Structure 1
């Protein structure tokens, strides 16, 4: 009989060291990047005086290449996940190239932009708060129902599903007064 034990939680020193290592790896990249669940934005410093026609910015479904014409690429590689090409863009302002990538899967965080670059710990990402009005109708309805049911439980009252069952029984009782419902039970 074997028993497995979970690895011990990391010490504060190990957490700090891992965070410093991640920050060092990210600052060594040839770009800075940020993300939401829907998109990834990169900023790349280019030499002063660089114009759009001096750049090669090749955005593909699963790849990205950025280079100054006639020079080795600043970076290129395979994207972590596919993107929507039609909604991904780039622009040049002063000596900063900005690249906007629209994620195909809008329900996950990317641990890195290009697969050969160091990863970040996506479990530490604190997502921005969203509003119910930001959600599509079906999702919003589901979240509102969950919130209602939670409030009902906290007050010791029936959830929406339990209330529906009780209402159905009451209606059935009203339609069949000749039946004895004194021992009827509702499984909740």
Structure 2
């Protein structure tokens, strides 16, 4: 994208204002981290838990008042908890199935947000599961190596394999070998 194709500050502000206005019309408020989504669904003051229909399953969630259309419905979640806050709102915490992606919306038929504008919260490596942590640590190591002009872990592994092969086969000429 050339610099002339990049959105201007005015365009960015207009897009952010439009997104905020669309989100303000939803019958709930929501925020997210990379791992979970928090939803607050307002209900009439004085609502008791027994007045609610909150149906949480491994593949769907539905929130509403008994005898009325659901306020919201959502499909595909792993773990979910809810609570009634001060008899004014239902607070829902959804654990994302894919913990490596941002949601554009809570309900697929509602307006999307621009996930490219999300600034993730700071996190610690200790917050990550083992596999994700190992991947992030490798990426960080490789980045530091590149900045110092040194080989990445994959490049070093190839060089080590070539060196071992050369030692095992001294009769072969490796002078024209190029690593890619």
TM-score, shorter chain, exceeding 0.5: yes
Which residue is 1:35 aligned to?
32
- Name the counterpart of 2:82: 90
**Cα displacement string for residues 3-39 of structure 1 (whole angstroms, at most 9, x for unaligned residues):** xx9x943333332222112111211212111112222
Cα gap change, 1:75 to 1:133, in 2 (>3 Å) = same
Q: How many residues align?
A: 177
Larger Rg: 1
1:48 match: secondary structure:
coil
Distance, in Å, in 2 between the alignment partners of 1:46 and 1:68 is 8
| CA–CA distance in structure 2, aligned partners of residues 25 and 49 of structure 1 | 28
SS in 2 for 1:153: helix
Kindly report the root-mean-square deviation, in angstroms, between the aligned alpha carbons of the 2 structures: 2.9
Equivalent position of 2:41 in the other structure: 44
Shift of 1:65: 3.1
Distance 1:38 1:122 in 2: 14
In the alignment, which residue of structure 2 is the partner of 1:183?
A: 175
Conserved 8 A contact 1:111-1:121 = yes
Which residue of 87, 93, 117 corresponds with 1:124? 117
Q: Is the 8 A contact 1:90 1:100 kept in 2?
A: yes
